Amino acid sequence: MTVDITRLQPGESGTVAEIQGGLGFTRKIQGMGIRPGKRITKVSSHFWRGPQTIAIGNLKVAIGFGMAKRILVKVER
C-alpha cells in the first residue's frame, strides 16, 4: 500500500516510493536524505497539519505538512 507521510502512524515505517514535485522540491528533499528506496520511520506529528518528524537511519528531520503530502511511502500493514 502506498500512502503519503501524513497518513503514517507514529512508529510506522516504510520505503520512499516516489517524490511528487518539481526539480527544486526534489533536490531540497533529497538534500535532507529522503530519496526513493530509503527506509524511513515516522517519529511524530503535530495535531492539525503541523510538522511531521521522520527518522532516516540515525537522522531525524522535521518537514512541513505540505511537503510530507508530496512524499509517497510504500508500507506493509
Label each residue of the chain as H, E or C: CEEEHHHCCCCCEEEEEEECCCHHHHHHHHHCCCCCCCEEEEEEECCCCCCEEEEECCEEEEECHHHHHCEEEECCC
Instruction: Quote the longest CA-to-CA distance of the chain.
Output: 32
**All domains of the chain, ordered by start, with CATH?**
2-74 (2.30.30.90)
Q: What is the pLDDT of residues 56-69, one digit of tens each?
A: 999 999 999 999 99
pTM assigned to the model: 0.91
Residue 12 pLDDT: 96
Q: Do the Cβ atoms of 16 and 35 come closer than 8 Å?
A: yes
> What tens digit of pLDDT does each residue of 28-61 get?
999 999 999 999 999 998 878 899 999 999 999 9
